[in-house]
Structures are given as C-alpha cells and as structure tokens.
A and B are shown apart, each in its own frame.
Chain A
Amino acid sequence: MENRGEFGVQETVESDGHVRLLLVGELDHATAQALAQRLDQLRESGSPVRLDLSELEFIDSSGIRALIVGLRDARQEGWELEVERSVSWQVERVITVLGIDSVLWPDAADSADGSA
C-alpha cells in the first residue's frame, strides 16, 4: 500500500458557489491547525464550504477535533459548512468508532429519527 502521507487541501469553486476543500493525505495533530486556519479564513469571508474527505488516508482525534470545532463555529454563526457523506474507509471507521455521525451529518440523523 502506498502512503502518500503529506497533508494537503485542494480548493475548487463549484457551480453553486460552494468552495470545495478536498483533503488529501494525513490529517493529524501536526496538520490539523492548517485546516482550522483555512476554515477560519473562509468563515470570515462568508463563503459556503463543502469538505470532501474521500481521499484522506488518515485522520486521528486531532483531525476530528478540527472538524467538530469548525462545524460548531459554523452553526453558531450561521455559516454554511458541510461535510460530504462519501468519506474514505479510514475516515468512516474513526467516525463510526467515535459515534459522531450525527455531529457531522445532523440532517441524516434527523431524518432517521423522523422515520422511526
């Protein structure tokens, strides 16, 4: 298995005006600050953001913390920040183990409750 390793963020602007951030490599204690800073900048600019975690090959509790804090700040300030549902298997596993699906995708949780 090849480890591409180094963390990176590829930014594109989509047709609906969302800034898509494709995260690649490893999001950990060393690299989470870079993501948090970029999210802060985008929040200040008001640009709606979509996070794509489908190519992250590693995420740990520090990376999860950066996502959770970003989402919390977004919701408090009415800034649009969403996490795409399709994530890499490595990310899916951590989300499942920590039981934080409803934090990342609250609408999905609400729908599930509604249909119960």
Chain B
Amino acid sequence: MGISPDGLSSPRLERHALARPDELAGLRTAVWRYAMDQGASQEVAQAVRLAVGEALTNVVMHAYVGRDSGAMTVKAWVDDDDHLNVEILDEGHGLIPRADSPGLGLGMGLMAQMADDLRITNREGHPGTSVCLRFSLAESQELCGCGAAP
C-alpha cells in the first residue's frame, strides 16, 4: 500500500456516509472527481469509479446485515510512486462468508480487474473491513503528454 509523507503537495480525500444505497453515488463520484483532479485519464478515473463503487456496494450489502446500518468511509491519496490509493472502511461484521448472498459474485472480479492492486483485510484492533485499491497514474500522464485520451 502506498505510503504518502505528511505535508503532501496533493491533498487527501476523506468522506463518510451511512452505508445506504442512496449514499453510493455521492462517495463514488467524490473519488472519481478526485482521481481526475490528480491527473487520472478518463479511462483510469472510470476504473477508480467502478472499483470504489463495487467496494462501497459490498459495504452496503454485507457489512451490517442483521443489525443497524453503520458508517462507510473512503480515503484517497496519491503516493510518491504516482499511484492513487483508495481505502474503503466499514465497522461491520468483518470478512465472513454468506451462503445467502444476493449477488452474482461479479463485483469482486470487477474490482480486481480495474485496480492494479487490491487488498481486503479485517481491520486491526477494530471491527470491520478495509479494502485497499491502487491505481497507476503514470499511464494517464503519458496520455496527457501526447494529447490522446480514450
């Protein structure tokens, strides 16, 4: 996971919302716009939008099943390696299998295909799950240089 120093030249993003379907678009769009502001190409920004959207949807669908809904948090920053890092956090059940999962199982595959790196872990010393996604911005910068965009 890319570590960024304090006193960043590029600002971080941090947003919180209740883990509800109607909150998905707002958080997803915030990260998408942040990616473009940090120089991501249209294609990379859309990959960010998709992968982050899937991770947030997983929180809404799974993290608080059987209990009152809780929070979902998204954090984003660019590291020294020119990678956009996004972390999606919840305070729910943690990683447990569900025999009654309502999905088709497509979301995980989509996340893995869109991101250069994907890590899913139980949060340390804290209930809930952390999903870390990493996207290279270097390709976006090359595209910007030649003026071509997908």
| Interface residues of A, Cβ cutoff 8 Å to B | 1, 3, 5, 26, 28-30, 58, 60-62, 64-65, 68, 89-90, 93-94, 97-98
Contact = CB atoms under 8 A, between A and B. Distances in A.
B98 to A, nearest CB: 16
B61 A60 contact: no
B21 interface: yes
B109 A98 contact: yes
A62 B50 CA distance: 11
A93 B106 CA distance: 14
A45 B120 CA distance: 44
Q: When A and B form their complex, which 7 residue pairs have the shortest distance between CB atoms, in order from nearest? A: A30-B21, A61-B106, A61-B107, A29-B57, A97-B113, A60-B53, A65-B104
Contacts, number: 59
Contact of A30 (B24, B29, B33, B104): B24
Report the interface size class on chain B.
20 to 34
Interface in B10-61: 21-22, 24-25, 28-29, 32-33, 36, 42, 46, 49-50, 53-54, 57, 60-61
A68 B32 CA distance: 26
Interface in B123-145: none
Instruction: Identify whether the interface residues of B are mostly helix, strand, loop, or mixed.
Output: helix
A60 B53 CA distance: 8
Nearest to A98: B106
A7 to B, nearest CB: 9
Nearest to B56: A29
A93 B25 CA distance: 19
B150 interface: yes
Contact of A28 (B42, B57, B104, B109): B57
A3 B29 contact: yes
Given A61-B54, A61-B106, A65-B104, A93 B22 contact: no
A60 B57 CA distance: 9
A51 B54 CA distance: 23
Contacts of A58: 49-50, 53
